[in-house]
Amino acid sequence: MNRNLIRAKELLGNGASLAIINGGGELTFSDRGIKSLLALQTGSLMGAFVADKIIGKAAAMLLARGGAIEVYAEIISEPALKVLHDRHILCVYEKLVPNIINREGTGICPMESAVLNMDGLDAAFEILKHNIMNQI
């Protein structure tokens, strides 16, 4: 693992659910879900090293669209790993699962489900943004 990715991983131990190292700067977020990643689509991820507690396909598509180059996940779904692999984004993870489960434990996470059959990063971004806006 690159030293920047190691540092991002260390930041997860300090209460953050998402940590980004980019250009020497460190960003951490404690939000659940993909809201922080959606907000960062203005260039903060270009060339970034990102550590996230849970990466489903929705998060992976946002990371790829934003230009992250290396990713660490405590838990990652198989569809998310494929997105990162197909786009040559190095990914290190602790646990691989078939899909990310929703917070109630009753099925697939709605954000992962929304993009499960999608390949286009821009189209996925628009769908995810729309879904998040409708949850507020």
- For residue 50, the Cα-to-chain-centroid distance in whole angstroms is 8
Residue 107: per-residue pLDDT: 93
Going residue by residue through the chain, which has 136 residues, state the pLDDT in tens, using 9 for 90 and above: 889 999 999 999 778 999 999 987 899 999 888 988 988 866 779 999 999 999 999 999 999 999 999 999 999 999 999 999 999 999 999 999 999 999 899 999 999 999 999 999 999 999 999 988 777 4
What pLDDT does 134 receive?
A: 76
Strands 70-77, 49-55: pairing is: parallel
Query: Cα 102 from chain centroid?
Result: 15
What is this structure's pTM?
A: 0.93
Determine the pLDDT at residue 41. Answer: 61
Structural domains for the chain = 3-135 (3.40.140.30)
Q: Decide if 131 contacts 125 (C-beta within 8 A).
A: no
Q: Report d(CA 64, CA 25) in Å as an integer.
A: 20
